[in-house]
Amino acid sequence: MSSIQLSGLATGIDTATLIEQLMLVERQRLTMYETRKETCDEKKSVLTEIQSKLSSLSSAVGALSDANKLKAFNVSSSDEDKITAEATSNAFEGNHTIVVNQLAAAERWVHTSGLEYAEDLVGEGTFIYSYNHKETIIETTADTTLEELVGLINNDAENPGVTASLLHYNDAYHLVLNGNDAGTDYELNINSSNTEVWQMDWAFEVSGANATLNSNITELDQFSGTLGTGDMITITGTDKSGAAITPVNLTVNSNTRIENLIGEINDAFDGIAKAVFENGKIILTDDTPGTSGISIDLDFTSSTAVLTLPTETSDWDVTEGGTTDADLTGYTEADFTETQQARDSQIKVDGFPPGESDWITRSSNTIDDVISGITLHIHNTTDASGEEINLTRNVESVKEKIEKFVEAYNGAIAYIKEQTRYDRDADEAGILIGDYIISNIRDQLRIPLYTQTDGFVEDIDTFLNPAHIGLELDSDGLLSFDADDFDEAIGKDYLGVLSIIGADKTGSSDSANVRFYGSSSDYTAGGSYRVRVTYDGSGNLSEAYFKLSSESDSAYRTATISGNVITGNSSFDDNGNPVYGENSLQVTAPLTGTPGSTIYATIRVKQGFAGAIEDSLDDILKATTGSLKIDIDTIDDRIEALQDKIDHEEGRLEKKKQRLTEKFARLEKMLTLMQSQLYALNAYME
């Protein structure tokens, strides 16, 4: 009898391949999600690269956006061994004659006899010295060596600025005390006893923090009320012998600072004591050591304000003079030699001061407050004719900044163009084609380079747009720089070139009555504005309005009047951006005028093209609300959503595969059983 068979059904079926083929069909949706995510990842990568290139462009254009900082100078000296100098943008072209009579020097004292060895003992006692009117007391023991005394001085937390060292000379080691600063303000003295010090028992504060020399009196937490006419601080006290000093009055206004008070205290004591300000406290130190009757009293006189000052002895922490003796044997003032006296530098600039014995004195050989924008470094004295410092315009530095800007601009624009282009021949599109935000960014950056620059007008300004100084856009939107055209423009109007590049909201008015007063480099928009000012029936300034010159008369917006200063509408939108261009724009007008009259003025606010591009980049690159950030966040949201779908789909497929595997396993089990039964049946039938 023939056997029974189930053709093709047996445990040898390749179920793994069958499952894999079935899963390929199931994966189509996952593949679609993964492809979309890969595209989004690529877009984000490109947007991040654009962000990086725009940040580089922002740095490059930022170096051009302030005309004042564009002014640079080459500085030369007729003798660099005697004088060198450097200039900032606040300097002016020209030359200056400098006569140096004396260099500043730091004070130095050397122990005259010295000791044979650095390890020799100095003995037990008290060594007292003062520097810059600050006293330091050093205590030694019977085991203190000369070398250790140097360490005690240098490592002392109260060291006021003195460096101790050892000089080996003539078979002896000599203690050397050297002031760290030059100038007569930094005298070094070895004292026979301690000096008297008066220190405020509490501190002046501003908003709970210690005040500084630059703090205004009216800012102090100790001040309240409103200043009146004739408000003053009176400084009284006594000298070392207890005799009254001549009182000094300091008139207090809204600009009076702690620094002014300290200066008046020093004038009142006229060299017999020195006042300093540290950690919010006034500290008055007697000029000489020993017993002292010195004292200080401060009184504030006002009918409308209150200022708490240290007025009683109880308001001062007083260290009595002469209570501690310097008794370290062999280390008194008589045991030291002053090898160099503290002295100021002495110079004349361009023949000033004219007196033969009159000099400009400073405590340093680096002087930055005599010639505007110039720091002088004096290295040696000169003869009576002096040496010359010459300043010439450094045009090359401006050109270098422009070239860096052009390079950064073209790098960003070329990359944006590559990512947004469509190649018809290859039928390929850039990853960001159709991205409105990126296209808008490109337009924002281009507009200031081919339109008339804000606030500049024909027949008044020499240059009206970047093309006039050698910057032009080609048909591909890339920027070129013609150095020859730039040099020609510089030769024609140096300041005009700097202005068209980097005028920073500078203003002017066509009216003798309404004048430009100020603007905000952050909030005021460059351009032309019309101002309308109205006087009431009594002739008093009553109303004022602003609008852009290009707007209709119905667009006039109410301005704020404070005294004779008029400020444009300063409201902001939800993103912190000014609603109107005149935000923070200020003009002045007469407080009185013809009763019932109205006067008008045109105010021009200049902003160079570099500043306009910088403003656009600031908006584009804002950390939270910038257009590029919004674009990147949108892509991030898509990536996150797609990843969620991918994760979900992968979970579904895993379960699907598990179910298929289990189903085929059951099928194989059943087939194996059936095959066994067939074998058994066939055997039985045989």
Q: Provide the residue type at 645 as one letter.
A: K
Q: Provide the residue type at 237 as one letter.
A: G
Q: What is the rounded distance in angstroms from the CA atom of residue 414 to the CA atom of residue 352?
A: 57
Burial bucket for residue 494 (CB in 10 Å: 0-12, 13-18, 19+): middle
Q: What is the pLDDT of residue 686?
A: 67
Which of 474, 526, 466 minimizes the C-alpha distance to 500? Answer: 466
Q: Give yes or no for a contact between 51 and 621, defined as CB atoms under 8 angstroms apart.
A: yes
Chain-centroid distance, C-alpha 18: 69
Q: What is the rounded distance in angstroms from the CA atom of residue 38 to the CA atom of residue 94?
A: 62
pTM beyond 0.85, yes or no: no
Query: For the segment 385-431, what is each residue's pLDDT rounded down to a tens digit?
Result: 999 999 999 999 999 999 999 999 999 999 999 999 887 887 788 88
Q: What is the pLDDT of residue 12?
A: 62
Which of 274, 296, 276, 277 minimizes the C-alpha distance to 287? Answer: 274
Chain-centroid distance, C-alpha 538: 48
Tokens (6 digits) for 563 = 């005294």
Q: Residues in the chain, how many?
A: 686
Helices (H) and strands (E) in the chain, counts: 11, 39
Q: What is each CA distance from 662 to 8, 659, 665, in whole angstroms?
A: 20, 5, 5
* H/E run at residue 153: helix 146-154
Q: Give yes or no for a contact between 441 and 415, defined as CB atoms under 8 angstroms apart.
A: no
Which of 153, 99, 101 minimizes the C-alpha distance to 128? Answer: 153
β-pair type (504-509, 598-607): antiparallel
Cβ-based neighbours of 364, under 8 Å, separated by 6 or more: 104, 181, 182, 183, 345
Q: Provide the residue type at 432 as one letter.
A: L
**Local structure of 631: helix, strand or coil:** helix
Q: Phi then psi for 409, rounded to 5 degrees?
A: -65, -50
Tokens (6 digits) for 444 = 């924002």
Tokens (6 digits) for 470 = 């050698």
Q: What is the pLDDT of residue 1?
A: 45
Question: Which residues does the chain have with pLDDT short of 50?
Answer: 1, 3-10
Q: What is the pLDDT of residue 289?
A: 93
Chain-centroid distance, C-alpha 542: 40
Q: For residues 354-384, b (16+ Cβ closer than 10 Å) or e, as one string?
A: eeeeebbbbbbbebbebbeebbbbbeeebee
DSSP 219: G
Q: What is the rounded distance in angstroms from the CA atom of residue 601 to the CA atom of residue 516?
A: 10
